[in-house]
A and B are shown apart, each in its own frame.
Chain A
Amino acid sequence: MKCIVYSSPFIPAEWIAAHELKPLRIVPRAASRAAIPAGMGVCPFARAFANEVLADAEAAGAIFATTCDQMRRLAEQTAAAGPANRIFLFNVPATWQSVTAQKIYLAELQRLGRWLETRGGAAPSRERLAETMVQATLPTALEKAASNRQAPALAVVGGPLLAEHRGIFDLIQHAGGRIVLDAAEGGERTRRAAWNRRSVREEPLLALADAYFGHIPDAFRRPNSELYAWLKRELAARQVHGIVFLHYIWCDLWRAEAQRLKEWCGLPVLVVELGDQAHFNAHVRSRIASFLEMLK
Chain B
Amino acid sequence: MNTSPRQITLDEWDVHYEALRAAGLREPPYGGPLRRHVERDSDLRLARLRFDNSPAALRLWNFLLTEEDRLQAARRDGTKIVGTMKDLGTVPVMAYSLPNVVAFYPDGAWWIPCVMELSDGLLGIANTLGVDESFCPVRAMLGAFLTEAHFPIPDLLICSAGATCDDFSAIAQRLNGLGYPILWWEIPSRRRPEAEEEAVDLPGGFTASRQQVDFVRAELERVRGALETLAGMPLTADRLAAGIRAANAVRRRFDELRRLVFSAERCPLPALELLIAEMLAIHFCSDREETIAVLDDLIAEVKRRIAAGQGVERAPASRESTCSLKQEPPTKVFWVNPVADLRVMNLLEDCGGRLCGTEFLFCHALDELPEDAPPMEALARAALADPMVGPATQRAERICRDAGRFGAEALILSRIPGASHCATEGEIIRGLVQERLGVPAVEIEVPPVSDSVAATLRSRIEALIETARERRCRCD
Say yes or no: A95 contacts B162, CB within 8 Å: yes
Say yes or no: B219 contacts A42, CB within 8 Å: no
Smallest CB–CB gap between A258 and chain B, Å? 5
Say yes or no: B422 contacts A66, CB within 8 Å: no
Whole-angstrom CA separation of A67 from B164 in the bound complex: 10
Say yes or no: B174 contacts A260, CB within 8 Å: yes
Say yes or no: A255 contacts B424, CB within 8 Å: no
Residues of B within 8 Å of A260, CB to CB, are 129-130, 174, 177
State which residues 164-182 of B face A: CB under 8 Å. 164-167, 169-174, 176-177, 182
Which partner residue on chain A sits nearest B184 by CB separation? A222
Residues of B within 8 Å of A101, CB to CB, are 186
Smallest CB–CB gap between B218 and chain A, Å? 4
Residues of B within 8 Å of A94, CB to CB, are 161-162, 164, 169, 184, 186
Which partner residue on chain A sits nearest B422 by CB separation? A41
- The total number of A-B Cβ pairs within 8 Å is 142
Whole-angstrom CA separation of A268 from B423 in the bound complex: 33
B121 beta carbon closer than 8 Å to chain A: no
- The stretch of B187-195, B311-319, B400-408 in contact with A is B187-195
Which partner residue on chain A sits nearest B170 by CB separation? A256
A174 beta carbon closer than 8 Å to chain B: no
State which residues 190-242 of B face A: CB under 8 Å. 191, 194, 196, 211, 215, 218-219, 222
- The count of chain A contact residues (Cβ–Cβ below 8 Å) is 46
Residues of A within 8 Å of B164, CB to CB, are 69, 94
Say yes or no: B130 contacts A73, CB within 8 Å: no
Say yes or no: A95 contacts B184, CB within 8 Å: yes
Smallest CB–CB gap between B184 and chain A, Å? 4
Say yes or no: A66 contacts B194, CB within 8 Å: no
A286 beta carbon closer than 8 Å to chain B: no
Say yes or no: B420 contacts A100, CB within 8 Å: no
A32 beta carbon closer than 8 Å to chain B: no
Which partner residue on chain A sits nearest B217 by CB separation? A100
A41-B422, A66-B163, A111-B194 given; A256·B174 CB < 8 A: yes
B185 beta carbon closer than 8 Å to chain A: yes
Smallest CB–CB gap between B111 and chain A, Å? 20
- The stretch of A13-21, A193-201, A245-253 in contact with B is A245-253
Residues of B within 8 Å of A69, CB to CB, are 163-166, 169, 420-421
A296 beta carbon closer than 8 Å to chain B: no
Residues of B within 8 Å of A66, CB to CB, are 162-163, 188-189
State which residues 45-86 of A face B: CB under 8 Å. 66, 68-70, 72-74, 76-77, 80
Query: How would residues 406 to 427 of chain B score, 1 for a CB under 8 Å from any chain A CB and 0 otherwise?
Result: 0000000000001111111100
Instruction: Determine which of B128, B173, B189, B419 lies in contact with A222 in the assembled complex, contact meaning CB atoms within 8 Å.
Output: B173
Say yes or no: A223 contacts B173, CB within 8 Å: yes
Smallest CB–CB gap between B408 and chain A, Å? 24
Say yes or no: B166 contacts A252, CB within 8 Å: yes
Residues of A within 8 Å of B442, CB to CB, are none
B134 beta carbon closer than 8 Å to chain A: yes
Interface centre among A42, A77, A222, A223 (most CB of B within 10 A): A222
Smallest CB–CB gap between A150 and chain B, Å? 32
B391 beta carbon closer than 8 Å to chain A: yes
Whole-angstrom CA separation of A95 from B187 in the bound complex: 9
Say yes or no: B418 contacts A41, CB within 8 Å: yes
Which partner residue on chain A sits nearest B182 by CB separation? A223
Say yes or no: A256 contacts B171, CB within 8 Å: yes
Instruction: Determine which of B166, B186, B219 lies in contact with A70 in the assembled complex, contact meaning CB atoms within 8 Å.
Output: B166
Say yes or no: A252 contacts B170, CB within 8 Å: yes
Which partner residue on chain B sits nearest A41 by CB separation? B423
Query: How would residues 108 to 129 of chain A score, 1 for a CB under 8 Å from any chain B CB and 0 otherwise?
Result: 0001001000000000000000
Say yes or no: A100 contacts B186, CB within 8 Å: yes
Interface centre among A66, A94, A114, A252 (most CB of B within 10 A): A252
A91-B188, A100-B215 given; A255·B130 CB < 8 A: yes
Interface centre among B163, B418, B422, B424 (most CB of A within 10 A): B424
Smallest CB–CB gap between A158 and chain B, Å? 14
Say yes or no: A253 contacts B177, CB within 8 Å: no
Whole-angstrom CA separation of A93 from B176 in the bound complex: 18
Say yes or no: B194 contacts A95, CB within 8 Å: no
Interface centre among B166, B169, B419 (most CB of A within 10 A): B166
B101 beta carbon closer than 8 Å to chain A: no
Say yes or no: A252 contacts B163, CB within 8 Å: no
Instruction: Determine which of A100, A111, A114 lies in contact with B219 in the assembled complex, contact meaning CB atoms within 8 Å.
Output: A100
Residues of A within 8 Å of B134, CB to CB, are 249-250, 252, 255
Say yes or no: A76 contacts B391, CB within 8 Å: yes
Say yes or no: B186 contacts A89, CB within 8 Å: no
State which residues 228-276 of A face B: CB under 8 Å. 249-253, 255-260, 262, 264
Residues of B within 8 Å of A249, CB to CB, are 134
Instruction: Determine which of A72, A77, A95 lies in contact with B161 in the assembled complex, contact meaning CB atoms within 8 Å.
Output: A95
Smallest CB–CB gap between B379 and chain A, Å? 15
Which partner residue on chain B sits nearest A101 by CB separation? B186
Residues of A within 8 Å of B169, CB to CB, are 69, 94, 220, 222, 252-253
Whole-angstrom CA separation of A258 from B182 in the bound complex: 20
Query: How would residues 124 to 135 of chain B score, 1 for a CB under 8 Å from any chain A CB and 0 otherwise?
Result: 000011110011
Residues of A within 8 Å of B172, CB to CB, are 222
Whole-angstrom CA separation of A40 from B391 in the bound complex: 20
Say yes or no: A256 contacts B423, CB within 8 Å: no
Say yes or no: A93 contacts B162, CB within 8 Å: yes
A103 beta carbon closer than 8 Å to chain B: yes
Say yes or no: B130 contacts A250, CB within 8 Å: no
A41-B418, A95-B162, A256-B170 given; A104·B130 CB < 8 A: no
A139 beta carbon closer than 8 Å to chain B: no
Which partner residue on chain B sits nearest A249 by CB separation? B134
State which residues 139-180 of B face A: CB under 8 Å. 159, 161-167, 169-174, 176-177
A76-B391, A77-B428 given; A253·B186 CB < 8 A: no
Which partner residue on chain B sits nearest A90 by CB separation? B189
Whole-angstrom CA separation of A282 from B403 in the bound complex: 50
Say yes or no: B129 contacts A259, CB within 8 Å: yes
Say yes or no: A104 contacts B215, CB within 8 Å: yes
Smallest CB–CB gap between A77 and chain B, Å? 6
Say yes or no: A42 contacts B166, CB within 8 Å: no
Q: List 6 A-B contacts (CB under 8 A).
A: A73-B423, A80-B393, A91-B188, A98-B218, A107-B215, A223-B184
7 tightest Cβ-Cβ pairs between the two chains A and B: A259-B130, A41-B423, A256-B170, A222-B161, A94-B161, A69-B166, A252-B166
Q: Which of B's residues lie within 8 Å of A, judged by CB?
A: 128-131, 134-135, 159, 161-167, 169-174, 176-177, 182, 184-186, 188-189, 191, 194, 196, 211, 215, 218-219, 222, 391-393, 418-425, 428
